[in-house]
Each structure stands twice: as structure tokens, then as C-alpha cells.
Chains A and B, each alone.
Chain A
Amino acid sequence: MEVPRRLSFPLVLPKPASSARSPLGAAGQTAGSSKDQTGGEKLISEEKTPESGVIVVVEAPPEDGKAARRFSSQDSFSEESSLSEERLEEEAREAQRRAEEEEAAAKERAAQRQQLAIQELVESERSYLRLLQLSTVTIRSNLQQQLQPPPAGLDSMFLHIEEVIDVSSRLLSLLDQKQLQFGEPDFPQSLCDSFLSLSSEMEAAYKEYLAHYNHVTEVENSYKQKEALWNEVVRVIKAAAPDVNATSLSFFLVMPVQRIARYPLLLQTIQKHTDASHPAYALLEQTAHTSVALNCRINEYKRFREVADKYRKTEMLTIKDKIVRLNTHSIAKKTARLGQQIKHEAGLKPKLVDEEFDALEGFFYVLENGILELLENVEMYLQHLQGFLSCRTEDFDLDMDGEKAPICYKEITTALRQWILPMFEKRMRKLIHQPLCALRDLLVGPRNLIRKRLDKLLDYEVIEGKPNLSYEEQAVANTYRTLNTLLLTELPQFNGLALQMMWSTLGTFSCLHRDLAADMEQLFHSFAQQLPHSSLSPGAFWEWAESSVLEGARRLQHLCRMVEDKLNAPDAQPLSPSSQRRLKQLTDKHGSGKIFQVMSTVVGTRDLDLNLTKGELVAVISEADSRGDRRRWLVDAGGKRGYAAASKLIRYHQPTDDPPPSPHPNLTEDVTTRRRHSYSPAGNAPLPMSQPCFQVVGAYDFTARSKHEVSFRAGEPVRILEPHDKRGSPEWSLVEVRGGQRGYVPSNYLAIMPVGAGLPPNPGFFL
């Protein structure tokens, strides 16, 4: 029997089956769709089709026919099937109703969540706008008026905020104009339309703001330097906005940075809770994409401006750059010079030229190697980067959307994975990978030429010493010399340029990392004040985190143990007579503390291992085998002794019931034990005859097979004379039946019955 697992009565169907309300249609469709959804879940479809086989006409899928046939053969089984047929129908209808209800409930929930998400977006926009306006209007003017002299650079801090405020209020007014309520189906559509229509203005406003934001932090830091000034500033802020826990200007001024990064997550959340069949779904998707693209472009612009600003400041190249430049030229010059020298002073002497050439050649090969290796490593790096981007850890839903920490994490990770890292990857490919690939391709030419030159050299050496060269031989010599000179002149240039290119890609690599880190820092800045423990020093923070994790683990373990102990205790099923006897035998011999129950059937594999069935009771003699292995216990299985795996044994608790209220207290315990083991009275129970509350009756018909035995019918009251036979075995009891005959009967054919159950207490009762 299976746990009712996710009843995949589908919660969100692409085409809701509940649209067809007729019982015929619904039954057939639900059966069909449950088959669609749960191909492997034959049980569900099997259950549904028998009934629907009765109701549904032709349209049901072919399996119905088979099932109907199956069902009709079941019909012939017993008369009770007609009852269960009704039952089946009833339950099918019920299950169907339940499925429809579940579906409706799930849709309701999704719609609610969507509404909540939309509400979140709009209301957070409103409060954002309000705070921005507060900072601009109230705080700024207060600062200007109240502080004498007004702090320097104050106006520059608020330089671009007006445009942001403007765009935000326009968005809200567009929404207000439509005068729609949150719950209305058209709201998402109007939200998306408004957002998209304003997206270019949003980009313009936010991109200026973000590019300028570094300046804002700089100015604020300069204020912080002067303690008195800063205290004043904080005082003004607190006075102007007492309900908000703000301690700096950047609390307000960082909000646009944060806000633009929040839009993707907010929009994606709305999209997530929207049915794909909703009319506004495609639009929502588009809006979400637009918001991500917006962020990309804003970031790019920010970087462009940063660099441009810096460039304006630096007037001269750094010394390192000069050295780089000098270096490649100097190599070229050196080698050229050397070549010239040799030519002038010594004439063309292949051996000396060889030395120079060999140096160049050596350099070339080293360079080639370096480039190829670098390219390979860069490709490996990019591969892992893609791997990182593909595991979207922000896509979880632990139903914790009300908590700050998970939301912050989601926003940060969304930003990282959806535009910050992708931008980084794009730039790496464009500025590093592509140039390196192009460079690698250019290596082919020189490499081939060098090889050719070697061939020609060999040819040349052969004819070198000859005084008179034939025409062909002269041609060979010329080819060689030309090649050689060509390589001698150009190879240095090649080497130099290639080296310079390599070096600049490495510089770019470093720059890209710096930009990545800068983007992340700016992003984190906006979350700094939201997290409860962000103000703790690193040491204190990690201490808190680790101790919280330990605490959590401890609680979890406690819960686990509790669940396992209480809920997984062995089932309180009454024992079979043989089990009871075994229990008694083992308890008598070993004590109740040693009794264990077998949890699942064990087949012994080694010698002296026992075969035990599930539910069997054993007593543990030793919790280790002769070699000291504690996983193998020596057990007594009622006569047989052997080894069994300890993992399959669980302690057996003798069930202890509360004694029922009985006017005969000295019988209480025995009644209890007899109730538990109601098939055979315990060997040393006092004769019940003396107590009018209970009596012994035959539980089943028994026919005597010898003259020592006596027959009786089920329900016939008997009198126990001796609860064991002549040899003392408790399996047989000596009884007297109605007619006065006496004889032995099997003890487990007897039962204790309360007298009040309708039986008259005298043995004159007749069936």
C-alpha cells in the first residue's frame, strides 16, 4: 500500500479539464488527463476507469474498454461487489470533486500569489518614490537651511535624482490612470504596458544616476571625515524621517541603485505565478527580459563613463606602458642591428646568422607555445564560467518570500547571474578570447615559413662551398637567402607585436575582474542595511552563523529522533497465538528487556545465521558475534539459536494497556493479558468460572477426533477444568461442555467473552 503521494490530480493543467462540467465529459477527461500527466501511475487510471467505464460512452480512450471488461469479470466474483460498485462510483465522484476542488484551490493560490507579487511591486514603488521625494525635498532643504555653512557638494549629490523621481512618478500615475484594482485580470497587462512604455526613459534616467553614484559616495565620505558636520547631517536626517531607520544620506541615495536591480526579480516573480495561458503572459515575459536588458545597458554605460572620466584625468601613459612599448621595439632594433653588423663586418656567414636566427626562432616557438596555452586556459575558464551560470541557485522557492535574507540573496544572485556575469563573459570573449584566437591563427604563416627555410638551408649547405654555382643552384641559394633575410627582418616585429598583444589581454583580464568586483560591491552596498547581522564584525558574524547552524542541526536531530521513536514504534498489532507463546517463552527465559522484533524478513547467509520472518520475536543473547562484530547478534528464536543482523531488529515493547474498569480488581491484570491474547487463555489464569463477568466460549467449531477430545460449536460456552493437558502442555485444555461431556480441546479454540455481550451466563445457551 502506498502513501497517498502527490496526488498528481494535476494542479495546473495547460488546458483545464474542469472546463467541461458535464459528468460524462469530466469523468472521461479527468481519467484521460490523469493518464496524460501520470503515465506511470497506472493505479490511478485503473481506479478511475472502472467507474467511468460504466458512465462514459464512446469517447473514453481504449483502455476503458479493457478495464470495463475486467470489471465485469470481477462482477461474477461475489455478491458484495455490487455494494462496492456503488462505493467505487461514489468514491470516484468524490475523488473527482476533490481533484476539481484542488485544481481550483491551486489556481486560486497561484492567482493570489500573482496578485501579491503585483501588489508588492506597486506598493514598493510608491514607498520608494515617497522616500526619494522626502530626501530630495525635506532633507536636502533642511540641510541647506539648517547647516551653516551648507555642506559642500550637497547639490551635486542630488544631481540626477530628479529624473529618477520623475520617471517613477510617471510609472505610478500611468497605473493610477487606468484605475484598476490589483485583482483584476487586466492589471498585469497595464503594468507591463506602462513599464515598457517608460523603459527608455527609465534607462536614460537610471544610467546617468548610476554612473554618477560613485561621486555621491565620495562626497558623503568627505562629510564623514568631519565629525561635527556628520553628526549634524545625521541629526537632520533623523528629524526629517523619524519612522525610517536611516543613518546616512546614502540610505536614501542608494535606493535607485537598488530599485533598478529589483525590477527583474519582481517581474519574474509575477511571471512565475502566472498561468502560461493568461493573456498577459507573453507580455510579462517580455517585460521581465526588458528589465534585465535595461540593467545590462545601464551597467555598460556606467563603465564607459568611469573610464572616460578617468582618461580625462590621466594625461600621460604610465611608465609601464612606455616600457612595454620600448621593449618590443628594442627587440626588433637589437636583432636588426645585429644583423646589419654582421653583414657589414663579416659578410654573409651562415653560422653567425644562424645563431641570431636560432634565437629568433626559439623566441617564436616559446611565444607560440605561450599563446596556445593561454588560449586553452582561457577557454577552460570560460567553460567553467558557463557551468557556474547554468546552475541557477536563485530559482528556489522555500515559501520564504517574506523573509529579508532569502530575498536579498535572490536579488543579488539574480543580478550576478543574469546580467553582471553575462556582461563579464561577453567582454572576456570579445576582448580576450577573440583576439587570442585571431593571434593563434596568424601563427601558422611564420611557422610554415620557418620550416621551409630550414629545408632551404639544408639544400643551401650542400652547395655552399662551391665556387661556381649552376643556374638551379643559384636559384636555390637565392631562395634561401631571401627567406632568411625576410624572416630575420620580420620575425622580430612579429614576436614583438604578438607579445604586446598577449600582454594587453592580460591587462584586460585584470581590468575585467576589477569591474566585476566593482559591480558587485555597488550591488551589495544597497543591501548592507537590510540584513540584521551585517553590522557585525567578520569574526563575530561567523561565530554567530556557525553557532546558529549548529543549533539548527541539533534541533533537527532532536526532531528526527522524536519522529523515529514515537511514530515509527512497532505497530500495536495483536500477536498471533504462536507469537504470543514465543513471547512468553522468551520472556520467561531471558527477560522482557531482551525481546526484539524482526523488522523485515532475514535470510541467513553465513553458517549459524538464522532465517527469520518479519514480525517474528526473538530474544537477544549477545549483542556481538564470537568475533566481536557488533552488527551481528546472537539471538534465541524460540528453540533455534543463531545470528541475525542487528539492523533488522527493533526492540519490542510489551504492550501495556490500562486495565479496564472492572469490579473484580484481582482479575484485572489477567483480563488485560487475556484481552491481548484473546485466543488462548494464559496458562496460569485463574478459572473464570468463579467470576460472573466473563466466561469462556468456543471461538470456532471443533470436532473431537478421539475419545479424549470433546466437540463443541462456536459460541458455545464451556467450562475450563484444566488449562493444560496431562503432560502439562498449554496447547490443550480440559473442558466440560454443555452436555456435561468432558474432554480435551485446543486452547486456541477458546475465547473469553464478556457476559454482557448478549450471552446468558449459563451454559444452557443454544445456538
Chain B
Amino acid sequence: MSWIPFKIGQPKKQIVSKTVERDFEREYDKLQKLEDQTKKLHKDMKKSTEADLAMSKAAVKISADLLSNPLCEQDQAFLDSMTALDTAMRRMDAFNQEKVNQIQKTVVDPLKKYSSVFPSLNMAVKRREQTLQDYKRLQAKVEKYEEKEKTGPVMVKLHQAKEELRPVKDDFEAKNKQLLDEMPKFYQSRIDYFQPSFEALIRAQVVYFTEMYKIFSELTDQIDQAGLTDEQRERETEAKLTELRALSIVADD
């Protein structure tokens, strides 16, 4: 490759045609981008599911702490409401856990598995490159001997060099062909591979939010004052706060 400082030992004859080399690089670039994006998506998915679980647990804590607070014992109605809230939160958490489990199985794990193929591919590309270097070196050697005067020792060396060259050349060509075959196939396989993951992601969320709607509709009917807009809520809150502030015990002393 052109980044070796000492250029001695490079063959004159173009071993790999430019088009082939460009094709190879293009395919490899596509795969590298795919690798980056799958890794990124995997990371984001993991973070997202972690945050999701944490949110759900925080919601459960809200209701659990309230329920264990002696406040509830003051009043049956309050106790009933808090129990209903707590039940709702726990049920939601259970659904959330299920959703996350399904996502883990059908999305996060497959993403990881997909990423784990890339090291082998990268290694194979590396080895092809190494073989190419050897090939070029030996080719240069052969050419060097071919240019010299045809004396005895030269002939011997030429023959030996050719012998050395042949297996390496075959090896390279095999590796090259294999990779040129496999890389596009692998790239294409991503579509079928990830199709179920995306559908599963969507479906898991549909199920979760459907349950959420059912559970919280019921709960809201039970514990929330009906028919309030956001502005009305704000006004009510403000009214209460004003009333509270009007108390002399609240004023700063």
C-alpha cells in the first residue's frame, strides 16, 4: 500500500486492478459503516432500556413510599386511592419488565451477535492485506530477477522466487475472491436479519402502551378530578398555595 515509506520492493506490474481494489474498498467501507451503526444502535438501545427500567422503578417507588407512609392510615378514602395507585404502578412495572425482556431477546441480543461477526471479517480483510503485501513483495522479487542478466545463480534464484510466489498468489486470489463474494452477501443479510427486531420493537411498545392506557384510564377515573384542563389545574394549585400562604403560621417569622 502506498503508505510504506520505503518503496523498494514494490512490483512494477499492477497486481490488483484499480476497479477490483476500489470495489473491495467500497464494500469494506459499507461494512465498516454498518459495524459503527450497529454498535451505536446497540449502545443506545441498552441505555434506553436501562433508563426505561429505572423510570418504571422510580414510579413504583413513588407509590410504594406513599403507601407505607402513615398518612394513609388517617383516612380510608386516601388509603384506597393510594392502594389503587400502587397497584397500577406495580402492574405497569410488570408490563414494562416484560416489554424490556422481549426487547432484550429480540433486539438487543441480536444486535450484539451481529456486531460480533465484524472482528472475524476485519481479521480476514487484514489477512488478505498481509497476503497482498507478501504477494507484492515476492512479485517484485521475481521481476527483479527477471530483469537481471540470465546467469546460473540468477536463474536458480528466479526459479526459487517463482516457486515462492505461486502459493502466495493463489492464497491471495482465493482470499480476495472469497471476501468479494462474502462481503456483499453479508451486507445484504442485514435486512432479513433485522426485520423481526424492528417489528418486535414496535409490537412490544404497542402492547405496553395499550395496557398503560387501560390501567391509567381506570385509575384516573378513580382518583383524579375529572374534566380539568391544564390551566384549570394550575389555577387550582395556585389557589391552594395562596390560601396556604395566607396562613400566619406560614409567613416567615
Contacts A87-B10, A757-B158; is A43 near B3 (CB within 8 Å)? yes
Residue of A nearest to B182 (CB): A563
- Overall SS of chain A's interface: helix
User: Is A511 a contact partner of B224 (Cβ separation < 8 A)?
Assistant: yes
User: Is B62 a contact partner of A381 (Cβ separation < 8 A)?
Assistant: yes
**Interface size, chain A (Cβ < 8 Å):** 162
- Chain B binder among A128-136, A247-255, A542-550, A662-670: A542-550
Contacts A398-B38, A556-B113; is A567 near B175 (CB within 8 Å)? yes
- Chain B binder among A193-201, A492-500, A589-597: A492-500
User: Is A544 a contact partner of B196 (Cβ separation < 8 A)?
Assistant: yes
User: Is A514 a contact partner of B216 (Cβ separation < 8 A)?
Assistant: yes
**Interface size, chain B (Cβ < 8 Å):** 144
A380, A446, A767: which contacts B61 (Cβ < 8 A)?
A380
Give chain B residues whose Cβ lies under 8 Å from the Cβ of A533: 199, 203
- Chain B binder among A183-191, A642-650, A710-718: A710-718
B37, B62, B133, B244: which contacts A378 (Cβ < 8 A)?
B62
Interface code A310-336, partner B: CB below 8 Å = 1, 0 otherwise?
Answer: 110110011011011001000100000
In residues 685-718 of chain A, which contact B (Cβ within 8 Å)? Answer: 697-701, 713-716
A367, A395, A507, A508 interface centre (most CB from chain B within 10 Å) = A507
In residues 76-90 of chain B, which contact A (Cβ within 8 Å)? Answer: 77-78, 81-82, 85, 88
Residue of A nearest to B153 (CB): A714
A23 to chain B, nearest CB (A): 17
- Once the chains are docked, how many angstroms separate the CA of A521 from the CA of B5? 62
- Overall SS of chain B's interface: helix
Give chain A residues whose Cβ lies under 8 Å from the Cβ of B106: 545-546, 549
A669 to chain B, nearest CB (A): 16
A4, A91, A403 interface centre (most CB from chain B within 10 Å) = A4
B25, B66, B130, B156: which contacts A374 (Cβ < 8 A)?
B66
User: Is A767 a contact partner of B152 (Cβ separation < 8 A)?
Assistant: yes
User: Is B203 a contact partner of A3 (Cβ separation < 8 A)?
Assistant: no
A643 to chain B, nearest CB (A): 27
A405 in contact (CB, < 8 A):
yes
B45 to chain A, nearest CB (A): 6
User: Is B168 a contact partner of A304 (Cβ separation < 8 A)?
Assistant: no
A338 in contact (CB, < 8 A):
no
Give chain A residues whose Cβ lies under 8 Å from the Cβ of B167: 572-574, 655, 657
User: Is A521 a contact partner of B51 (Cβ separation < 8 A)?
Assistant: no
Contacts A47-B3, A767-B151; is A381 near B168 (CB within 8 Å)? no
- Once the chains are docked, how many angstroms separate the CA of A396 from the CA of B194? 13
A718 to chain B, nearest CB (A): 12
- Chain B binder among A12-20, A77-85, A165-173, A631-639: A77-85
B10, B170, B250: which contacts A494 (Cβ < 8 A)?
B250
Contacts A324-B77, A507-B224; is A556 near B240 (CB within 8 Å)? no
Q: Which 6 A-B pairs have the closest CB atoms?
A: A715-B152, A84-B7, A311-B227, A507-B224, A714-B153, A517-B213
Q: List 28 A-B contacts (CB under 8 A).
A: A47-B2, A47-B4, A304-B229, A314-B226, A366-B69, A377-B62, A378-B62, A384-B58, A388-B55, A398-B34, A400-B190, A403-B191, A403-B195, A504-B236, A506-B66, A508-B233, A510-B85, A517-B212, A533-B199, A549-B106, A559-B117, A559-B189, A568-B120, A572-B167, A572-B168, A655-B167, A714-B152, A757-B158
